Structures are given as structure tokens and as C-alpha cells.
């Protein structure tokens, strides 16, 4: 045990990486060669860990290496530092990944050598990537902040992680923090690894978004709209925790229009049921933050109707809508106004080109919901732009 690190490695390589039982304790004598301090593990018997998840785990002492505790530079290794640190902090339960289970026998021996009470051990199953194997950076994001930045809610992440290896024993899948604290016990954690299913996380996150109060959801979406260059804060700058009705105003970057928080709430409300992540708000609502949405004229086509029919139908819609007296008709006002035309021309023939003209996309909220938020002036402008597009 007075060899240099290089000599130790050379000696150990001859024995497959660890000292045989008969060689332990060999050596001695003082010298000035840099040295390390190792733990002298017992050669006989076995060390048993009563793991709270895996049950009794037995380690043959003869197979426990004489691990380095203090390196030649005087600094402790993880094995010594973690045991001393946990003791000084009066840790009663050591809960860690199962990759540390092979070290548990050594750690118990260290506690016994110091004359300290051994804490409880619980080694959690590892989190697996969808394709198998331990989840790592190569398979995607592994840091919590990465998921927060992408628009996953903290409450959804905690709820999702709760189910990675744990089960309440019934069909429940959604727990608030108080319920988690009340229900969680280590004995309900499984021994096998749990797969990190991103689709399930998105589904769970979407559930929390749908249940969220609209004002809070809008506050959480605003930073994504700002980062995407869709809006800018003008007065006052929204602050974390500030009330949503504090008079915050924003400028739509591409149009220069000034909008308030209540208008943003109306926009977010239309997509709340469809959003899976907060970041989805950018793509889902982008057509509200432009003068006229960009799209291919072919998108206006419904089944077999001709460009001439599309143009004619849009012109009919404009004639009806121009007669509306209010600047911001309600959803029902739009529906009532266009009902006779839909009965005459057909629902798809009327509402499909209207939807596309207003949103520029195939899938969107109903054209009446979009029109309610846009207002009469913007609706007419987009319909006229669609007619010009058909004629090109």
C-alpha cells in the first residue's frame, strides 16, 4: 500500500484490476514517494444492505476493493467525502440512482469503521431513453431548465417525474404537490428502469395548460411571443408575479399596432385547448400578429370549387360583413350574419375559404372565433387580400 499510482495500476492489471485477498496488507515502511490512503476492507464474511427499494443486497467482503479514500494530493475521493458529508449533515436516508448500489457495501463498511450509525439506503431505478439504455445528453435534453425553456410547466414536470418508477396503486395520473407528499412512499417504487416518454410528458403538460387560469397562462406565454419577435412590451414592463390587469401594453412588431393584455388573453384562449407546450403559442397564434397572413392560394380551394367560385364566395361574404354595424362583432354575430350564405352555398364552400383567408393555415379555431378577436376592419382586409391572391 506504499506504491505510486503508476505502480499500483501496473500491479493491479496483473490481477484483473483488483488485489487478490492474499496480497492485501502487503508492504510497509516510510518513504518520500507520494502515496494514497486506502480503506482496508475485511477479507471474510459479507456486508448486507437493507435497501428500501431492492431489499436485502449482499456483498462478499473479499470482492470489495481497497478503495482509495485520500488521494496523493490530500483530497478525499467521493467515497470518503460523501460518507463524512452525509454524517455531518445528519442524513437519515440516502436516496440515489441505482448505479451507486455497487458502492453501498463499501459505504456501509466506512460508517461502521467510523463507529457511526448507518443511514437507510434507497437506490432508484435509472431513467431510460425511449430506445433503451440510460437517458443521456446524446438522446436529448436531460436538464430541467431545458424543458422549462421549451414550455413545459414545473407542475407537469414534477407530476411526470413522479411516475418514472413510482405508481400509486390505482388509476390516478394527476397529483398536486400536496397530494404527492401525502401519497409518495419508497415501497411503491419499482426496481426496473422507467422509460422517459416525451409524448406522455407533452400530453400531461397539455392537461395542465388546459386547466390553467387564462390570465396566468397568458402571462407565461408572453415571453415566448416576445422572444419570437411578435410583440414588444411598451408600458409598463410586465414583471414576474405582477397582476395581469396592471395596464401592461404591447406593440405588435410587424404592424406597429398597440394591444393590451386583455386582447392577448383572447388570442391565447383560442389555442388553450390545443397547446401542449407554452412554446406552441408562437406557431399557433402567429397569424394574429401580422397585417395579412402569408399562404398559397391553393389553400383557399375547398374540394372541387373553382378559383372563380372561391372569388365569388369571398365577395359574397364581404358584402354581408360590410353591413355589420359594430367594429368588433361577437362570435354569434358573425355566425348569424353568415348563416343564410352557408345554407345557400354550403358550409365548406363558405367557411373554408373564410378560415384560410383569416388564418392562412389548414387547422385553426373556427373562423367566427378568429373574426371575433380580429374585428371587422381586419377581417375585411384579409378577405380582400384573399380575393387578390386568387386572381393572381
Q: In what side-by-side order are the strands of the sheet with 120-124?
A: 55-60, 46-51, 120-124, 93-97
Q: What is the pLDDT of residues 242-288, one digit of tens each?
A: 555 557 899 999 999 999 999 999 999 999 999 999 999 999 999 99
Q: What is the pTM of this model?
A: 0.80
For the chain, the average pLDDT equals: 90
Catalytic: 384? Answer: no
Catalytic choice (40, 108, 134, 137)? 137
Rounded to the nearest 5°, which phi and psi values hold at 59? -125, 125
pLDDT band at residue 194 under the 50/70/90 scheme: confident
Distance CA 174, CA 183 (A): 12
Report whether pLDDT(129) > 50: yes
**What is the reported pLDDT for 3?**
63
Express each pLDDT in 346-367 by its tens digit: 999 999 999 999 999 999 999 9
Going by pLDDT thresholds of 50, 70 and 90, the confidence category of residue 180 is very high
The helices-and-strands tally (H runs, E runs) of the chain is: 15, 11
Rounded-to-integer distance, Cα 314 and Cα 318, Å: 6
DSSP track, 218-274: HHHHHHHHHHTTSEEEEESPP-TT--TTS--EEEETTT--EEEHHHHHHHHHHHTTT
What is residue 100's predicted lDDT score, i.e. its pLDDT? 95
pLDDT at 58 over 70: yes
Q: Quote the pLDDT of residue 245.
A: 56
Q: Where in the chain is the domain with CATH 1.10.1160.10?
A: 137-209
Query: What's the pLDDT at 133?
Result: 78
Residue 316 burial (10 A CB sphere; 0-12, 13-18, 19+): middle
Residue 322 is predicted with a pLDDT of 94
The pLDDT score that the predictor gives to residue 18 is: 59
Encode pLDDT of 131-150 as tens digits.
777 777 666 667 889 999 99
The hierarchical CATH code for the domain 297-391 is 1.10.10.350
What is the distance between the alpha carbons of residues 52 and 93, in angstroms, rounded to a whole number? Answer: 10
Q: What is the rounded CA–CA span in Å between residue 351 and residue 353?
A: 6
Closest listed residue to residue 4, CA positions, set 66, 67, 77, 72:
72
Which of these CATH numbers, 1.20.1090.10, 3.55.50.30, 1.10.20.10, 1.10.1160.10, describes 137-209?
1.10.1160.10
Q: What pLDDT does residue 244 have? A: 56
Residue of 383, 362, 259 whose CA lies nearest to 320: 383
pLDDT above 70: residue 236 = no
All CATH 3.40.50.620 domain ranges of the chain, comma separated, are: 5-124
- Assigned CATH topology for domain 5-124: Rossmann fold (3.40.50)
Amino acid at each position: 500500500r506504499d506504491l505510486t499510482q503508476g505502480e499500483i495500476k501496473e500491479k493491479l492489471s496483473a490481477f484483473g484490476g483488483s488485489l487478490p485477498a492474499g496480497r492485501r496488507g502487503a508492504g510497509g515502511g516510510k518513504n518520500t514517494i507520494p502515496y494514497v490512503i486506502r480503506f482496508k476492507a475485511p477479507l471474510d464474511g459479507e456486508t448486507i444492505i437493507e435497501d428500501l427499494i431492492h431489499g436485502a443486497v449482499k456483498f462478499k467482503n473479499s470482492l470489495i476493493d481497497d478503495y482509495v479514500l485520500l488521494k496523493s494530493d490530500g483530497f478525499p475521493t467521493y467515497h470518503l467525502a460523501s460518507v463524512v458529508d452525509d454524517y455531518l449533515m445528519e442524513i437519515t436516508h440516502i436516496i440515489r440512482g441505482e448505479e451507486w448500489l455497487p458502492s453501498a457495501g463499501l459505504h456501509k463498511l466506512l460508517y461502521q469503521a467510523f463507529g457511526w450509525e448507518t443511514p437507510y439506503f434507497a437506490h432508484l431505478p435509472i431513467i431510460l431513453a425511449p430506445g433503451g439504455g440510460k437517458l443521456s445528453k446524446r438522446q436529448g435534453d436531460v436538464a430541467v431548465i431545458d424543458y422549462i425553456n421549451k414550455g413545459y410547466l414545473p407542475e407537469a414536470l414534477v407530476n411526470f417525474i413522479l411516475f418514472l418508477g413510482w405508481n400509486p396503486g390505482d388509476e390516478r395520473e394527476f397529483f398536486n404537490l400536496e397530494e404527492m407528499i401525502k401519497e409518495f412512499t419508497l415501497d411503491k417504487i419499482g426496481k426496473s428502469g422507467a422509460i422517459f416518454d416525451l409524448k406522455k410528458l407533452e400530453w400531461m403538460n397539455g392537461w395542465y395548460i388546459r386547466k390553467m387560469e387564462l390570465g396566468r397562462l397568458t402571462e407565461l406565454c408572453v415571453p415566448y411571443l416576445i422572444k419570437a419577435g411578435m410583440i414588444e412590451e411598451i408600458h409598463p414592463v410586465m414583471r414576474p408575479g405582477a397582476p395581469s390587469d396592471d395596464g401592461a401594453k404591447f406593440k405588435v412588431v410587424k404592424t406597429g399596432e398597440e394591444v393590451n393584455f386583455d386582447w392577448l388573453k383572447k388570442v391565447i384562449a383560442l389555442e388553450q385547448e390545443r397547446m401542449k407546450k407554452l412554446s406552441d403559442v408562437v406557431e399557433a397564434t402567429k397569424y394574429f400578429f401580422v397585417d395579412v397572413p402569408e399562404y398559397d392560394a391553393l389553400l383557399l380551394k375547398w374540394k372541387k370549387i373553382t378559383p372563380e367560385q372561391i372569388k365569388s364566395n369571398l365577395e359574397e361574404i364581404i358584402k354581408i360583413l360590410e353591413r355589420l354595424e359594430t367594429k368588433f362583432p361577437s362570435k354569434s354575430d358573425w355566425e348569424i350574419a353568415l348563416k343564410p350564405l352557408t345554407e345557400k352555398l354550403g358550409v365548406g364552400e363558405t367557411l373554408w375559404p373564410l378560415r384560410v383567408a383569416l388564418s392562412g393555415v389548414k387547422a385553426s379555431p373556427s373562423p367566427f372565433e378568429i373574426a371575433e378577436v380580429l374585428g371587422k376592419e381586419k377581417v375585411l382586409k384579409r378577405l380582400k387580400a384573399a380575393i387578390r391572391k386568387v386572381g393572381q
